[in-house]
Amino acid sequence: MVTADNKKLSVIVAIYNVEQYLDRCLHSLVEQTYTDLEIILVDDGSPDNCPRMCDEWALRDSRIKVIHKQNGGLGYARNSGLEAATGAYVAFVDSDDYLEKDMYRLLMEEALEKDADCVYCGFRQQLPSLEFVDVIDMGNEAVWGKDIDRLAGRFLMNFSHEHLHFSVWHGVYRRSLIDFKFVSEREYVSEDIVFTHMFLRRCKSFSYVPKALYHYMYNAKSLSRNYGEQTYERILATAGKLNEIYAGTEYAGAGNAYVFCQVYFLMRFPMMKARLPLKQKYAFFRKILRDRRYTDMLQAKNEFKFQKGLKYRIIRFVYSLHRRKMVRLNFLTIRAISIKKG
């Protein structure tokens, strides 16, 4: 329960090499209509003018705290912010994004009124074409108790029309439930995926505000948009973490489903478009198909309960492609495209 004297929201902004966008981001924070904020800027060893800019912003607004640290990546920077946070709730902002001025007022009103452990909202996403699209996954609804598990399941099995977007930057979280740390995005596909699933396992009440209040900007240099052997290793690490989080639940073994869907996607789309020699692509695919860690996860299919519904039929279909070695067809497709272009 949030006490009357602590309705503060701690907003953590990890900052690295974003001097071009930082002022826009921070303007959108200090101008929030919800004013009981603690804004924690974590300079992750940024090599540009961001460290100086952070210090200047702290002089302009007493709610801003600055942490300067050696570069360790986004996940570890957020951990530093969490250690310094004092608010009843905590939020995270990517430093090249920005917010609608009423975002935190609407989220905190919902959180305080319903005593919710977390509240999410929709967001406005910038596409590679630089156009924007509003992403709103739910109506104005609250979820409680055991229904949280089903919500987590919908997010976990996000390979269908029921896809839910639960990135950490468009929500607020009850800080007392965060008894764990962010993982490194250099080791996992996404530190957001792991954080969200760990939080949902602790969450007892969830609410959603169906408005696009966060502006998520396209970044072609993002680590999550780069694909190769390291991506595959990060997929395996994420799958193992999901298996650990959901061990002993109805979603036990879901990391196995995650890994073969992600690997199929990696083979079928990004690697097909990658500007790599054909032999290098083939060697990469062959290495995956012969990797014992990967084949062991495929053999562990029975640990995951395939239920009825479209999303599970999709997963079963992708799984069958892997089991029948039909993933090799991706290589043939790439070869045909390469010959055509040649």
If residue 58 lies in a helix (H) or strand (E), which one and from where to where? helix 50-60
Q: Which CATH number fits domain 9-216: 3.40.710.10, 3.40.50.300, 1.50.40.10, 3.90.550.10?
A: 3.90.550.10
CA angle 172, 173, 175 (to 5 degrees): 135
Residue spans of the domains in the chain: they are 9-216, 227-341
Q: Does position 82 have pLDDT exceeding 50, yes or no?
A: yes
Q: What is the pLDDT of residue 163?
A: 63
| 143, β-bridge pairs | 206
Cβ proximity of 185 and 79 under 8 Å = no
Q: Does position 340 have pLDDT exceeding 50, yes or no?
A: no
Q: Does position 13 have pLDDT exceeding 90, yes or no?
A: yes
The C-alpha atoms of residue 233 and residue 222 are separated, in whole angstroms, by 17
Instruction: Convert the pLDDT of each residue in 42-70 to its tens digit.
Output: 999 999 999 999 999 999 999 999 999 99
Instruction: Convert the pLDDT of each residue in 182-231 to its tens digit.
Output: 999 999 988 898 999 999 999 999 999 999 999 999 876 654 555 667 88
Q: Which residue has the higher pLDDT, 335 or 98?
A: 98
The pairs formed by 276-285 with CB atoms below 8 angstroms and a separation of 24 or more are 278/334, 278/335, 278/338, 281/331, 281/334, 282/331, 284/228, 284/229, 284/232, 285/327, 285/328, 285/330, 285/331
